[in-house]
Amino acid sequence: MVEATASSFTESVRALRSAQKSAKGAPLYSRFVNRPAGRLLAALAHQAGLSPNQVTAVSAAFTFTGVALIALAPPSPAMAAGVALLLVVGYALDSADGQLARLLGAGSVAGDWLDHVCDCLKTTTIHLAVLVSLFRFADVPQEWLLLPLLYAPVDTLLFFAFVLTQSRRRPGDPAPTAGPASLARSVLSLPTDYGVLCLVLLTLAWPPAFLLLYGAMFLGTAGYTALALPTWFRRLSRQES
């Protein structure tokens, strides 16, 4: 926890570098792109006098505007680029709110709750929006509609299991993403990275390419989930013995 007294944007960024949580095990995009971008946005928010909860609200506005466009607007290159931009900025702001809270020493149970509720909602609705878009605008066999229908519960399950595992571990126990090979784990968890999913949506105007990449993301997420759940269960079981 760092009490910030920074008076300039540069000083805010410098103070934020010492207020980072561990990146160990974080997916590649989140680790090397989203957190640094979130740090810059957190510094801007600090200079603007915003609270962490206000940053969460701005993040939600960007994210759910992008999600709504997926479902409501016919795909085009410009639309797909706009959606990806909204989601990428929303994701960076989602990192910024936690960084700002640590910088200010202003973390709260209510703020953490709000952040996770927004994360859970976006995890589900983005796939449902893809389902609506494919149904309304894409000339694809109906069987492909099963893809987002399956992706939504798998992605939500992974998110819920991760948060629950994190909340049930005792002080000093390893985090769900803990492991010796941090960079390798970051690469292996790439299909679960929300930031990569945002970039995949750049291809929404070209259904064959989109479905290929989106399907690969789903298979990677499903495989990661199948491996992670028993590992986390065993880890929690051991801490009870």
CB of 220 closer than 8 Å to CB of 192: yes
What is the distance between the alpha carbons of residues 60 and 68, in angstroms, rounded to a whole number?
12
Predicted pLDDT at 126: 98
pLDDT, averaged in runs of 10, over the chain (241 residues): 58 72 72 91 92 97 98 98 98 94 86 95 97 97 97 97 88 59 74 95 97 98 96 88 65
Query: pLDDT value at position 172?
Result: 59
Q: Given this model, what pLDDT does residue 4 score?
A: 44
Q: In this predicted structure, what is the pLDDT of residue 31?
A: 85
State the CB neighbour count (10 A cutoff) for residue 130: 27
The reported pLDDT for the residue numbered 15 is 76
Residue 25: the pLDDT is 63
Domains and CATH numbers, the chain: 9-148 (1.20.120.1760)
**Nearest 10 degrees: CA dihedral of 46, 49, 53, 56?**
-60
Per-residue pLDDT at 177: 60
